[in-house]
Amino acid sequence: MSTDGPDGIPPEPGIEAASDPAPEVIGVRHGLFGVRGTGDTSGYGGLVSAITVPGSSTRPYGGYFDDIADRLEEALSEMGVAITDAVEKVVVFRDEMTLHVSRDHLVAVARTLRDRPTLRFELCLGVNGVHYPEDVGRELHAVYPLASITHNRRVRLEVSAPDSDPLIPSLCAVYPTQDWHERETYDFFGIVFDGHRSLTRIEMPDDWQGHPQRKDYPLGGVPVEYKGTRVQPPDQRRAYD
């Protein structure tokens, strides 16, 4: 069985790949699909399960992950920033590394990962929004996949913000191609990217209420028109008894 890490790069000699960390429980799910106020026809209405996210990993991380952590800590230290202040936790899960970064240090960490010759993550592949309603005080997450073309390595940055203060610094000054990606994530999740030059909706109409990919967004309930034919919302269509 192959023991190669991400992108087919084998772990460093003498270091085994890190095992997946123990999960962190952030809530409890009742049922399977999250729908409320309707009759249960799925057979899963009585299901009770834990809502988990991967917990912190411990050293050695395996492969080139330890080198990334060391070089980042070294660079931040030269800037007078402690790694424990900038990086809240490190997660190595399914052979991928995610640095959970404080939003106050996001821009500095991203710029360091881009510019440091021993890191050189020149490419940011976008930003993905995630909504964890049960993760109190950290409900909104932004995830940035980074790639180093120079060193053929990958790493992810993840930043969280509360629903009550959904501001996360824009990375457009570091990775200019983030412009439309941040607009889309704002449009669908409501994350406000502070410093973006034109943070407007990119797919939904400007007067749209709410953010459709959040888990607290109502399912259905909006009419759709197709060439003059009006399709009623699901809760207003004909019922068959």
> Is residue 127 one of the residues assigned to a domain?
yes
| pLDDT beyond 80 at 79 | yes
Comparing 34 with 150, the larger pLDDT belongs to 150
pLDDT in tens, 113-134: 999 999 999 999 999 999 999 8
- Res 31: pLDDT: 76
Residue range 158-195, pLDDT digits in tens: 999 999 999 999 999 999 999 999 999 999 999 999 99
Domain enclosing residue 211, as ranges: 54-227
pLDDT at site 220: 64
- Mean pLDDT, the chain, integer: 85
Q: How many domains does the chain have?
A: 1
Per-residue confidence (pLDDT) for residue 3, from 0 to 100: 46
Q: What is the pLDDT of residue 218?
A: 77
pLDDT band for position 2 (cuts 50, 70, 90): very low
Using CA atoms, how far residue 88 sits from 126, 166, 184, 196, in Å, is: 21, 18, 26, 24
Whether 10 is covered by a domain: the verdict is no
Distances (CA, A) of 79 to 66, 110, 138, 216: 20, 14, 27, 40
Strands 153-161 and 140-148: antiparallel
In this structure, is residue 16 part of a structural domain? no
CATH of the domain at 202: 3.30.460.80
pLDDT score of 4? 52
Residue 18 Cα to chain centre, angstroms: 21
Residue 9 lies in a domain: no
Query: Residue 58: what pLDDT?
Result: 92
pLDDT > 70 fraction of the chain, expressed in percent and rounded: 78
In this predicted structure, the answer to whether residue 83 has a pLDDT above a threshold of 60 is: yes
CA distance 47 to 45: 6
Distance CA 11, CA 27 (A): 34
The end-to-end CA distance of the chain, in Å, is 55
Instruction: Establish if 218 belongs to a structural domain.
Output: yes
Does residue 219 lie within any of the structural domains?
yes
pLDDT at 12 over 70: no
Q: Is residue 157 part of a domain?
A: yes
Look at residue 6 in the predicted model and tell me its pLDDT.
47
Of 9-18, 75-84, 178-187, give the lowest mean pLDDT range. 9-18
Is it the case that residue 13 has pLDDT exceeding 50? no
42 pLDDT above the threshold of 70: no
40-54, 87-101, 105-119, 124-138: segment of lowest average pLDDT? 40-54
Q: What is the pTM of this model?
A: 0.80
- Give me 63's structure tokens: 């492969």
Q: Assess whether pLDDT exceeds 70 at residue 20.
A: yes
Q: What is the predicted pLDDT for the residue at 226? A: 55
